[in-house]
Chain A
Amino acid sequence: MSILVVAEHDNNAVDPATLKTLAAAQKIGGDIHVLVAGMGCSTVAENVAKAEGVSKVLLADNAVYEHQLAENVGALVAELGKGYSHVLAPATTTGKNFMPRVAALLDVAQVSDIISVESDDTFKRPIYAGNAIATVQSEDAIKVITVRATAFDAVAAEGGSGNVESIDNAIDNDKSEFVGEQLAESERPDLTAAEIVISGGRGMQNGENFKLLEDIADKLGAAVGASRAAVDAGFVPNDMQVGQTGKIVAPQLYIAVGISGAIQHLAGMKDSKIIVAINKDEEAPIFQVADYGLVADLFEVLPELEQKL
């Protein structure tokens, strides 16, 4: 068996989700190759080659892959994937975007967002917003899989000794082009990788009040998240949303402030180690999953918490 893992990166650094996907690949077992497709991304390839368990890195460094658009990256991965028993990518928005194209081009099904590897063809994945866990077995010759990064511990980033091999498959893309992007700038840790996450919901009342959470986040080295209600109300940008349709997090400590705890939100955070809920409604469903609950007005409690940390 041999496994192709598609690396997630921004042409400069490898995303931690890739190291977690490598952990899933190791559980499947077999020779592990990594594809790094992008432009000016040779440093990424050299770094990935050092990750534990990687035997070879395929580097497709070409202007056509600069923004990793699904149309031609999908075609590239499908072309390379024919030689492997498994093709894996992290279930990030990038992986979710191109991998189903890969599966369709290979005429196989895709197993999305796996949370555990039972054997080389059997996997567990959450369905119905995480309210049920399905065990599924793939009968396809090539298994195309996306991996929920929070469910696996990253492999060591150093210590491996893979070879980097450049490949020159340049697949043109005349159907789509990159126009621009607006990325949120933040000094705080990445939401999906943070050890501590503090999130606000509709109870925050407006965007300015998120400052109360940011002050605490800065003291704890935490990331700041939000519920869908807070995003839809325009308090904060959508890339902060935690939930079924936003980001999935599983930090050591998750502090939910002014969040009722709808099914959709719980789907994104209920695998956190310790959950703290601060809410003035003691009937809020969030208290049913919280390890520590504080029934209080967040506007009184947050400044006090910040001061006492």
Chain B
Amino acid sequence: MKILVAVKRVIDYNVKVRVKPDQSDVDLANVKMALNPFCEIAVEEAVRLKEAGTADEVVVVSIGPKAVQEQLRTALALGADRAIQVETDDMPDSLSVAKILKGVVEKEGPDMVILGKQSIDSDNNQTGQMLGALTGMPQGTFASKVEVGDGFINVTREVDGGLQTVKLNLPAIVTTDLRLNEPRYASLPNIMKAKRKPLETISTDDLGVEVKRSVKLLKVETPAERSAGVKVADVDELVEKLKNEAKVL
């Protein structure tokens, strides 16, 4: 089967973001960028399915300016076969991203699309589900286990009360949770090899999708700071303070 994996370039998860002084957005100038951690898990899962002989081709796609090619090369170094960059300078919202991905799905005809459950910048948790609705595909969101059957997959999902398993007819969409797998590191030879793997650039016009944004960002603020409190010497003092000062016991 053919697997399409969507990946996003985001601020590195270890970076503490700063809000711009004019409160227009967070400051991404000169900040370390990386592959969104959930997308990395998506790539790893696709590559494992290929190594298991279940998948025969893994195609990665990312949407954005030329800089996203860096993350596509990372995905190729992790084992994807070829990459597609959908060039756009705009910041498409989740719905536009889902429409663009629908265009790529129609072009590529994958049996499975794997995405991360959310990107750690916008924290939306929307794109996979929207792509499901637009393509009519079933979805296995927040996946911690994927088992491939004949014409279907069983997906174990992380839900609030525990775990739930659903059976989805292929083609289907999977969004990854953190416990699906542990992504590998790209070795130097694989990074070198990834430079020669095919990377195609297409435009949103090629796909006939208009990028829009119907939710306007009015302001970005730093959340109310919590200040450090006091250190207590022992358990007695802690219990005393919780009872008498904080009055939470």
Contact = CB atoms under 8 A, between A and B. Distances in A.
B228 A292 contact: no
Contact of B215 (A138, A177, A253): A138
A104 B130 contact: yes
How would you classify the secondary structure of chain A's contact residues: helix, strand, loop or mixed? Answer: mixed
A110 B229 contact: no
Among B160, B216, B234, max chain A CB count under 10 A is at B160
A70 B139 contact: yes
Contacts of A127: 26, 121-123, 220
B192 interface: no
B129 A70 contact: yes
Interface residues of B, number: 81
Interface SS of chain B: mixed
B159 A94 contact: yes
Contacts of B187: none
Interface string A64-77: 00010111001000
Given A181-B162, A239-B160, A290-B229, A220 B249 contact: yes
A128 B123 contact: yes
A9 to B, nearest CB: 12
A247 B160 CA distance: 8
Interface string B149-165: 00000100111111111
A249 to B, nearest CB: 12
B223 A290 contact: no
B218 A136 contact: yes
Contact of A308 (B93, B133, B177, B239): B239
A131 B159 contact: no
A82 interface: no
Contacts of B161: 181, 183-184, 239
B141 interface: yes
Contacts of A100: 94, 125-130, 133
A177 B155 CA distance: 11
Nearest to B139: A70
Contacts of B172: 175-176
Interface of B: 11, 13-14, 16-17, 19, 26, 93-95, 98, 117-118, 120-134, 136-142, 144, 154, 157-169, 172, 177-179, 213-223, 226, 228-232, 234-236, 238-239, 241-242, 246, 248-249
Q: Nearest 10 A-B pairs (CB), nearest first?
A: A100-B129, A291-B229, A104-B133, A104-B130, A175-B138, A176-B138, A100-B126, A101-B133, A179-B165, A183-B162
